[in-house]
Structure 1
Amino acid sequence: MSNAIGSLSPAPIQRTAGLSDKHRRFLTKLTAVISGGMLIDGFVLGCIGIVMPAITNDLHLSVVWQGLIGASALIGIFIGGPLGGWLADKVGRRPMFTIDLAIFLIGSVAQFFVTDAMQLFAVRLLMGIAVGADYSIGWPLLAEFAPARLRGKLLSVVELAWYVGYLVSYAMGYALTVSSAASWNVILGLSTIPTVIVFLMRLGTPESPRWLMSKGRVAEARALAAEHMEPEEQIDLQSQKTVGKQGFGRLFSADYIKATTFVSIFWVCNVTPYFAIGAFAPIVLERLGLEEGLTGGLVLNGVAVLGTIITIMFIERVGRRKLGIPPFFISAIALICVALFSHVSAAVILICFFTFSLVNAISTTLCGVYPGEVFPTEIRGVGVGFATAFSRVGAAAGTFLLPLVIDSFGVGTAMLIAAGISLVGGIVSYFLAPETKGKLLSEVSAPQ
């Protein structure tokens, strides 16, 4: 494949030893503003589980409404991912990059004022739509600017921001809940603060040269590439065709059905167990016999941050496959042990859950890497958007069904189901996961 790509290039690509100061500053800012969107997403999803008991008591929620509100943002992401990706491919990355965050800001402020279950569900659904759009705009934008040797690391940093946002939100919610210092409306509405900051930082972000090239706007693409991209990426830009078929149909063409299948299953099998367990960590841990369920949930999320940092450190050294595949099987073993041996001691529960959180985070970090790499520019937005939507079907289902499964069949059965999902993810990834470490974007997104 490398020979085929090389034949398309106008000149041999010379690898540069390091980033220039100008390009380093640009990539740092771009990574920061994209990471800001992911931090906000994690913030929104992290606090809902911690305040769910207070919301339930205040609004007199049934089990069904608990599940719906817990899954509302995930349902919104299911809608927003494909929609935002389609718009980003059609009208550009730049305009959508600020519009989606403006919508999110409106929903974030509205959380201060909701007074019933339906209002809360609707507001968080809107916020989820904006978050889903941000996934399918931000990741392609960063992938299209990043040098090949740093692309995986930078995309992993974006995923780290999600976990940090989730952890910070969970910790703040924990502190405010324990101290009764703020109502659940205030805790949820605190996402307004980081949203305003990130929104202002995003103003002035340039359009993607690769998107411009895909629209035949060659002169504009070259001018922006000269300003913001390294020489090797500028040369690789010339390998990109200026026209190509767009839309969701191409995701299922012979050229890209393998990539679509892989990233969708990889993502859903990573996040379904995580969201199911993470959103209701206090409830799960308390039902397993741990009195300090809130504290245990906080520590679990801290371990997940550590797992993401490990991925950032090693992704460009050991590659994607070695980091993405083994965690599925380790997660399955850990969850099976929880299901079968939780009665032995609290230490067994904690060790197994900590192991799951660590290795699941290592693999899940690649959910922010692979989708932005394996699709061509013309369908990169819809590709990421579709994978996002597909993953949220599982995440929303897990979040909605977990309390029902626990009530009906017990925690052990819920953990066995989660283990089965992890096992499926490992098997599919073993056969379909590509190795994209160090490869140019035009190469890794070439038809399979």
Structure 2
Amino acid sequence: MRIGSTSTTGWKATAAVAMSNYIEAGAIIAIATSLSLWQDAFGIDDFAVGLLAAFSANAFGAAIGAAIGGPLCDRYGRKFIYTYDLVVFMVGVLIATFAVSFPMLLAAFLITGIAVGAGVPASWTYIAEEAPAHQRAKHVGAAQLAWSAGPVVGFLLAVVLTAPLGLLGARLVFFHLFLVAAVVWWIRRGLSESTLWKAARASEGGTPAPRRGLRELFSRGTNIKALAFLFGIYGFWGIVAGQMGIFMPRVYETAGVQSEVEQNLLQVLLWTCTLLATYFGFQRYADRMSRRTLYVLGAVLGVFAWVLLVFADATLPVLLLFAVSWGVSAGIGAQAFYALWTSELFATPYRASAQGVLFFAARVSIGLLSYFFPVMLATSGVPAVGLLMIGLLLLSLVVGAVWSPDTRGKTLTQLEIERYGEVLSDTVARPATDRAGSPGA
């Protein structure tokens, strides 16, 4: 796995790759904490605000990037994505930092989103492929840990910079993401290619993988079932989390919390709980206990949090309990398990393509609601949108509780044989008539 003296391996490699999640979450929070400021500065209405959110790293921008990056990651390698995605990201956040008009800001959000969408599926794939089987959840959890750290830092920066400096402070929050991305890009230059991907490519003499990813992904019933299951847990949950990521300060405002500092501090509390729950919950126990049980616990807490927000008076204790409940839920819930299961349930030749398809579908779903969420919130209030959120979370809970797979402690090769009846990575170069085995159920 080493590349001369600059090789980046082990936990250092996991950390460098996981920073894609810090950058994505940080970009979403930079948008969330600045939307009102951009709205005032450029004189745009709520629909235009929804458009900015929809085409950002939170929704359509990331969806486009995932649709492009997933197949490229399978064809040219996991490291191929890391050579370019952060460069594109840095261009996007720099444009946002110096934006002087709505079209310029919209372009910045779209570019940033595309880079994020390309990078995140590659990061989850790479981490899972390089992690030991008995510690896969612990390593994949590092990505969720970085995801949680992004909002903690982002909201704290909003309190420190945006509150006193206004739009200038918001621009500085975007610029900090440029600096982080530059450092991470430098570290990633020493990353080795995924061992599993290299093994799958060995029979091809180092040439790019055949264009088999999406075609074979959708040609097997095993894959279709896995795609449906994973969208069931992550797609429905993601619609809720996506609106919260961008619009939660507005939800707090509608619930009666008028101070932007207080709104941001509630979010700091929420995401700090997510970070702690990821480390002390998911990373410590998802490799050691029933994953179904841990998933259900997180899902139930998420439903409880929104029931509080909808049916209880929005007093300070209720809002604090909401922030803690949702924060813990997010740390041990759908996103962490999605990142883990989506790497375990697909074969190496199209593992990243599957993630790209799922990430695309989830982000499109978020984007469609983002068009209308600000208007719905303004006209109908928290109870109306909250009931929609509860319904989506219940769907995610049921899907995960009923169909959670038994993958703990198994190597990715073992899982591939169990699910497909063969190691598909070994059949790349052989004609179909020479391949042994059949798809798993």
TM-score tier by shorter-chain length is 0.7 to 0.9
Contiguous gaps of at least 5 residues in structure 2: 421-440
Alignment of 1:26-425 (within 5 A): 26-71=9-54, 72-73=56-57, 74-180=59-165, 182-217=168-203, 245-251=212-218, 253-291=220-258, 292-309=262-279, 310-342=281-313, 345-363=315-333, 364-425=335-396
- Measured in 2, the distance between the counterparts of 1:97 and 1:319 equals 34
Runs of 4+ in 1 over 6 A off after TM superposition: 218-221
- Measured in 1, the distance between the counterparts of 2:193 and 2:140 equals 18
- Measured in 1, the distance between the counterparts of 2:148 and 2:201 equals 35
- 1:129 CA displacement: 0.9
Contiguous gaps of at least 5 residues in structure 1: 1-21, 222-241
Q: Which amino acid aligns with 1:296?
A: L
- 1:248 CA displacement: 4.7
- 1:218 CA displacement: 7.6
Q: 1:193 to 1:357 in 2, by over 3 A?
A: same
Alignment partner of 1:428 is 2:411: no
Of 174-183 and 150-159, the range deviating more from structure 2: 174-183
Do the aligned residues in 1 keep the contact of 2:23 with 2:177 (CA within 8 Å)?
Answer: yes
Q: 1:250 to 1:80 in 2, by over 3 A?
A: same
Q: Which amino acid aligns with 1:299?
A: L
Q: 1:209 to 1:103 in 2, by over 3 A?
A: same
Do the aligned residues in 1 keep the contact of 2:97 with 2:174 (CA within 8 Å)?
Answer: yes
Q: C-alpha deviations, 1:239-265, integer Å up to 9, x for none?
A: xxx999422552452121111111122
Tell me the SS of whatever aligns to 2:400: helix
Q: Which amino acid aligns with 2:302?
A: S
- Measured in 2, the distance between the counterparts of 1:61 and 1:29 equals 44
Q: Which residue matches 2:425?
A: none
TM-score normalized with structure 1 length: 0.84
- Measured in 1, the distance between the counterparts of 2:9 and 2:15 equals 10
Q: C-alpha deviations, 1:272-315, integer Å up to 9, x for none?
A: 21221232222211221234323222222222222222211211
Q: C-alpha deviations, 1:347-400, integer Å up to 9, x for none?
A: 223313421222133112222211111110011010111111122123333444
- 1:25 CA displacement: 7.4
- 1:120 CA displacement: 0.9
Do the aligned residues in 1 keep the contact of 2:47 with 2:372 (CA within 8 Å)?
Answer: no
Q: Which residue matches 1:230?
A: none
Q: C-alpha deviations, 1:149-176, integer Å up to 9, x for none?
A: 1111101111110110122112102211
- 1:267 CA displacement: 1.2
Do the aligned residues in 1 keep the contact of 2:278 with 2:332 (CA within 8 Å)?
Answer: yes
Q: C-alpha deviations, 1:166-208, integer Å up to 9, x for none?
A: 2211210221111217343332222110010000111132222
Do the aligned residues in 2 keep the contact of 1:170 with 1:298 (CA within 8 Å)?
Answer: yes
Aligned identity (percent) is: 24
Q: 1:98 to 1:64 in 2, by over 3 A?
A: same
Q: 1:404 to 1:250 in 2, by over 3 A?
A: same
Do the aligned residues in 1 keep the contact of 2:155 with 2:264 (CA within 8 Å)?
Answer: no
Alignment length, in residue pairs? 405
Q: Which amino acid aligns with 2:224?
A: I
Q: 1:27 to 1:421 in 2, by over 3 A?
A: same
Q: C-alpha deviations, 1:60-113, integer Å up to 9, x for none?
A: 121011112123222111011121010111112222221112211221222222
Q: Which amino acid aligns with 2:240?
A: P
- 1:406 CA displacement: 1.1
- Measured in 2, the distance between the counterparts of 1:281 and 1:96 equals 31
- 1:434 CA displacement: 0.5
Q: C-alpha deviations, 1:18-55, integer Å up to 9, x for none?
A: xxxx9x97211210110122111111111211111211
Q: Which amino acid aligns with 2:200?
A: S
What root-mean-square deviation, in Å, do the aligned CA atoms of Structure 1 and Structure 2 show? 2.4
Q: Which amino acid aligns with 2:159?
A: Y
Q: Which amino acid aligns with 1:330?
A: L
Do the aligned residues in 2 keep the contact of 1:270 with 1:360 (CA within 8 Å)?
Answer: no
- Measured in 1, the distance between the counterparts of 2:397 and 2:66 equals 24
Q: Which amino acid aligns with 1:40?
A: I
Q: Which amino acid aligns with 1:211?
A: W
- Measured in 2, the distance between the counterparts of 1:33 and 1:163 equals 15
- Measured in 1, the distance between the counterparts of 2:282 and 2:375 equals 34
Of 357-366 and 249-258, the range deviating more from structure 2: 249-258
Q: Which amino acid aligns with 2:28?
A: L
- Measured in 1, the distance between the counterparts of 2:245 and 2:293 equals 25
- Measured in 2, the distance between the counterparts of 1:146 and 1:218 equals 24
